[in-house]
A and B are shown apart, each in its own frame.
Chain A
Amino acid sequence: MLSRTADNLYWLSRYVERAEYLARILDATQRLSALPLAYVGTGNEWESAVLTAGCASSFFKHYETATEENVTDYLAFSTANPSSIRNCFEMARGNARAVRTALTGEMWDAINGTWLELKRFGNGPSSREETSRFLRWVQESSLRFDGSAYRTMLRNDAYWFSRLGVYMERADNTARILDVKYHLLLPDNERVGGPLDYFQWAAILRSVSALTSYHWVYRESLKPWLVADLLILKEEMPRSLASCYEAIVRNLDAIATYYGRQGPAQRQARGVRTRLQNSKMDGIFQRGLHEFIGEFITENNRLGLAITEQFLQ
């Protein structure tokens, strides 16, 4: 398979996944900011949204303060933000168009249809209601694309590279939320407790669509260390770091078997997964949650580079 084709498939999935993640952040932030101040404190939730989206430095070049309007616009519709939802879909469709022959008709329909529908929203939703509708549409579009890929693609290298894109992006996104919000998840917070943090934890879980899962897994009220455990170590939780790495290793191994050889990407991925498997929450808290997340982000970036060098160029 052409390196460029693999590269396009990989980024196509990454951009779709990123669009969905941005929509979830906006959705969660909207809920949080709709609560009376007494429940959530005085922190600027919109600023925190920009941070978790990973585009704070470029955002503050355009705006002085973060407000609902400008953050929603910047993350969802801005053409100035290279990673806005709109640009993610544009780039996803651009990647798809460049490798149409490697996609199934259903995948093309899904992404091209999304791109065509995007125009319906013009320059962005004009009301909160419309924004909610837009965010729901983004999540549905991503699900539709993901589903079409999962249900229609041949199980060969094209499929595995496209899955790799999904899980690499997911791991990156989950790690970024943890990086920005880690302080809310420290065990000390148990003592502070109270409704204030409850809604913050719920928002975090909502950003990775894990609020309901939490209750099924732990059958407990929200506890910050359990939220951290769910997002980092629980393999059964689809957006946890452990689950992402289980999938990354599985897909890289499939490629290695198919090609009859393995390289730095496979070794790097297995290393990260092993560390996750051997970790316990207690130990992570002892050595420092923030340090742990920081290291993970570095290792994840290293894997991204290794994948690019080994296959995509």
Chain B
Amino acid sequence: MGVAFDEMKGHDGEAIRPAYGELDRWLKEVPPDVLDYRRREAELIFRRIGITFAVYGEADATERLIPFDVIPRIMSADEWRRLEKGLTQRVNALNMFIKDVYGARDILRAGILPEDMVFRNPAFRPEMNGQTVPHDIYVHIAGIDIIRVDADTFYVLEDNARTPSGVSYMLENREIMMRLFPELFSRHRIAPVENYPDELLASLKSVAPLSTSKEPNVVLLTPGVYNSAYYEHSFLADKLGVELVEGRDLFVKDEVVYMRTTQGPQRVDVIYRRVDDDFIDPLAFRPDSILGVPGLMSAYGAGNVTLANAVGTGIADDKAIYSFMPDIVKFYLDEEPLLKNVPTWRCREPEHLSYVLDHLPELVVKEVHGSGGYGMLIGPSASKVAIEQFRAKLKSAPANFIAQPTLALSTSPTCVEAGVAPRHVDLRPFVLTGKKGVRIVPGGLTRVALKEGSLVVNSSQGGGTKDTWVLDK
């Protein structure tokens, strides 16, 4: 892995890249203690509004702040246009793929994907077989994780097609930046993100059951206050102007979903659910779940309610399926993929496994069904002991792992103890799909690895966030 591409300074010795010109000038003007002061101010505001997340495995830290970096990450209008096209293509393919695996299964018949990779995949939901959904949309909200390695090359690192989170940070980060740095905003023309909730609500309403005659009633279903993303759930419900419901607020009668209100039962048409498949209906999935709505799948089967995202979309963001995405895009759209896929070794295949075992110190190995950066090995930064431990894990259950080369994620200037320094970043744009097609609010959530040299941007592993600017030119 060479020296990373810096989004402001390019490769070593190059001139400041145009999108960052104004920011570079500003950084040179502004005294360092001002940055530091604003950083503290931002933290105070975040704590005040209560934007927190939970970290699993830390006893005394049920509510913690994600560090916020006050230096924005900037993209030019051209860069964004290219990315937007690629994302649209990718999410269209994901939706077609899901419709197919729960329907005609053409892709299996064509031999593009091995049958068992679908059928034996825990993310595949047999219960969805033959289920139709309004306008053939399964993934209404996708979070596609993008990394960049040079001026022209973007890779998709991961598709998140279940219940992607983080969009509240995208919105709050912008709010805070506008409050803290009005002068910086007056020196740029930045595409707004504040219309995201409106776009989301329009998308959700557009996929209401076809039988809904009046204005659809949309609700947001949360697992409750103890969920790590609860803040986001309540934030979004508020911005959308919809009820934030828990499983116990809903019930099913005669295959129709209702919510319990102070004025009696009220029909529900669209559920933006942030509860995982496993927990959503104890009569169809885990019988011990108390987070779900008993009988929901019957109402869903009857076409009386829309779930966003649909049940079973996990089959599309599975890390083993990921490695087939270029073929999936070609199969359904008959187009070349616009976004690159990171080369991936599937450890379930013996030749791939032996390559991976021989090259562990240079690879990133991930659990197929893991998320949040847990259960992952980063070869170049891991100790010998850690590598050997992982080797044993890998050998005992190879099908659970995939491996990828360690990519040099681009860096972006970031406020650190010693001043401003480059840190590695990724980007999660949020892709909305409704009846009228795909909509993407320019930007997304930039996550930054705050530790020097670290490539892990997950908030649960010490990552922070930045505001993401798409210049409107």
Q: Do the two chains touch directly in the complex (Cβ atoms below 8 Å apart)?
A: yes
Residues on A facing B (Cβ under 8 Å) = 1-6, 94, 97-98, 100-101, 105, 108-109, 112, 157, 161, 255, 259, 311-313
The residue of chain B having its C-beta at the shortest distance from the C-beta of A113 within the complex is B48
A101:B237 contact, CB within 8 angstroms: yes
Nearest neighbor of B231 in chain A, beta-carbon distance: A100
Q: Which of A97, A101, A157, A259 has the most CB of B within 10 A?
A: A101
Cross-chain contact A3 with B262 (CB below 8 angstroms): yes
**Contact A3/B238 with A97-B225, A112-B50 known, Cβ cut-off 8 Å:** no
- With contacts A100-B234, A100-B238, A101-B244 taken as known, whether A3 is within 8 angstroms of B249 at the C-beta atoms is yes
Q: Name the 10 nearest CB pairs between A and B, nearest first.
A: A101-B238, A311-B262, A3-B260, A100-B234, A6-B262, A1-B262, A259-B263, A4-B249, A98-B225, A97-B225
Add 17 more A-B contacts to A1-B262, A97-B50, A313-B260 (CB < 8 A).
Answer: A1-B263, A2-B245, A2-B259, A3-B260, A4-B248, A4-B249, A5-B243, A6-B262, A97-B230, A98-B224, A100-B234, A100-B238, A108-B50, A112-B50, A157-B262, A255-B262, A259-B262
A295 to B246, CA, bound (A): 38
Residues of B within 8 A of A98 (CB): 224-225
- Can you identify 22 A-B contacts, CB atoms within 8 angstroms? A2-B245, A2-B249, A2-B260, A2-B261, A3-B249, A3-B262, A4-B245, A4-B246, A4-B248, A6-B262, A97-B50, A98-B224, A100-B50, A100-B234, A101-B234, A101-B238, A105-B49, A108-B50, A109-B48, A161-B262, A255-B262, A259-B262
Closest to B50 in A: A112
Output the least CB separation between A118 and chain B (Å). 14
A313 to B259, CA, bound (A): 11
B266 to A, closest residue via Cβ: A2
A130→B465 CA distance, assembly (Å) = 41
Question: Whose C-beta in chain A lies nearest to the C-beta of B259?
Answer: A2
Task: How many A-B residue pairs have C-beta atoms within 8 angstroms? Tell me.
Answer: 46
Q: For A313, what are the chain B residues with a Cβ–Cβ distance below 8 Å?
A: 260
8-38 of chain B: CB within 8 A of chain A: none
Chain B: interface size category: 20 to 34
Closest to A101 in B: B238
A6 to B243, CA, bound (A): 12
Given A100-B234, A101-B237, A313-B260: A2 in contact with B225 (beta carbons within 8 A): no
Hey, which chain A residues are within 8 Å of B230, CB to CB?
A: 97
Chain A residues in 8 Å Cβ range of B238: 100-101
Name the distance in Å between A134's Cβ and chain B's nearest Cβ.
23
Q: Which residues of A contact B246 (CB under 8 A)?
A: 4
Contacts of B224 in A (CB 8 A): 98
CA distance A112 to B225 in the complex (A): 14
Q: Could you tell me the dominant secondary structure of chain A's interface residues? A: helix
Residue of B nearest to A310 (CB): B262
Bound together, the chains give a CA A2 to CA B101 distance in angstroms of 37
Q: Give A109 Cβ to nearest chain B Cβ, in Å.
A: 7
In the assembled complex, how far is the CB of residue B346 from the closest CB belonging to chain A, in whole angstroms?
43
Separation of A108 and B238 alpha carbons in the complex (Å): 14
Q: How far is the CB of B96 from chain A (nearest CB, A)?
A: 36
Q: Mark B215-248, 1 if CB is under 8 A from A, else 0.
A: 0000000001100001000100110000111101
Secondary structure dominating the interface of B: mixed
Residues of B within 8 A of A94 (CB): 225
Q: Which residues of A contact B262 (CB under 8 A)?
A: 1-3, 6, 157, 161, 255, 259, 311-312
* Shortest distance between the CB of B244 and any CB in chain A (Å): 6
Q: What's the nearest-Cβ distance from chain B to residue A103, in Å? A: 10
User: With A and B bound together, what is the CA distance between A5 and B238 in angstroms?
Assistant: 13
- Across-interface contacts of B49 in A (CB, < 8 A): 105
When C-beta atoms are compared, the residue in chain A nearest to B48 turns out to be A109
B261 contacts A3, CB within 8 Å?
Answer: yes
Taken together as a complex, chains A and B put the C-alpha atoms of A100 and B243 apart, in Å, by: 11
A107 to B263, CA, bound (A): 25
* CA distance in complex: A94, B237 (Å): 18
When distances are taken between beta carbons in the complex, the residues of chain A under 8 Å from B259 are: 2
In Å, the complex CA distance between A146 and B49 comes to: 20
Give Cα A94–Cα B234 distance, bound, in whole angstroms: 14
Contact string, B249-262, partner A, CB cutoff 8 A, digits 1/0? 10000000001111
Tell me the smallest distance from the CB of B63 to a CB of chain A, in Å.
10
* Complex: chain A residue closest to B47, CB-CB: A116
Complex alpha-carbon distance, A219 and B16, angstroms: 81
Q: Nearest chain B CB to A104's CB is how many angstroms away?
A: 11
A292 to B349, CA, bound (A): 82
Roughly how many angstroms separate A311 CA and B230 CA in the complex, as a whole number? 25
Contact A4 B237 (CB under 8 A): no
Tell me how far the C-beta of B197 lies from the nearest C-beta in chain A, rounded to whole angstroms.
13
Query: What is the chain B residue whose CB lies nearest that of A100?
Result: B234
Contacts of A108 in B (CB 8 A): 50
B residues less than 8 Å from A5 (CB atoms): 243
> Whole-angstrom distance between the alpha carbons of A105 and B246 in the complex?
22
The contact of A4 among B50, B234, B260, by CB within 8 Å, is B260
Closest-by-CB residue of A relative to B248 is A4
Among B248, B260, B262, B263, the most chain A Cβ lie within 10 Å of the Cβ of B262
Contact with A along B410-428 (1 / 0, CB 8 A): 0000000000000000000
A147 CA / B137 CA spacing, docked (Å): 48
Which A residues are in CB contact (< 8 Å) with B225?
94, 97-98
Q: Which residues of A contact B237 (CB under 8 A)?
A: 101
A105, closest chain B residue (CB): B49
How close is B15's CB to chain A, nearest CB, in angstroms? 45
Q: Which residue of B lies closest to A6 (CB)?
A: B262
- A169 vs chain B, min Cβ distance (A): 19
What is the chain A residue whose CB lies nearest that of B219? A2
User: What residues of A have a CB within 8 angstroms of the CB of B260 in the complex?
Assistant: 2-4, 313
The distance in angstroms between the C-alpha atoms of A6 and B264, with both chains bound, is: 13
How far, in angstroms, from A224 to B52 measured CA to CA in the complex? 53
**Chain A's nearest CB lies how many Å from the CB of B16?**
40
Known A-B contacts A101-B237, A259-B262; the reply to A2 vs B50 at CB < 8 A is no
- Interface flags, B43-79, vs A, CB<8A=1, else 0: 0000011100000000000000000000000000000
Residue of A nearest to B224 (CB): A98
> Within the complex, what minimum Cβ distance (angstroms) separates B288 from chain A?
22
Looking at the assembled complex, report how far the CB atom of A269 sits from the nearest CB atom of chain B, in whole angstroms: 16
Q: Which residues of A contact B261 (CB under 8 A)?
A: 1-3
Q: Give chain B nearest CB distance to A216 CB in angstroms.
A: 39
Contacts of A6 in B (CB 8 A): 262
A4 to chain B: which residues have CB within 8 Å? 245-246, 248-249, 260
User: How far, in Å, is B248 (CB) from chain A's closest CB?
Assistant: 7
Q: Distance (Å) between the CB of A252 and the closest chain B CB? A: 12
B residues less than 8 Å from A101 (CB atoms): 234, 237-238, 244
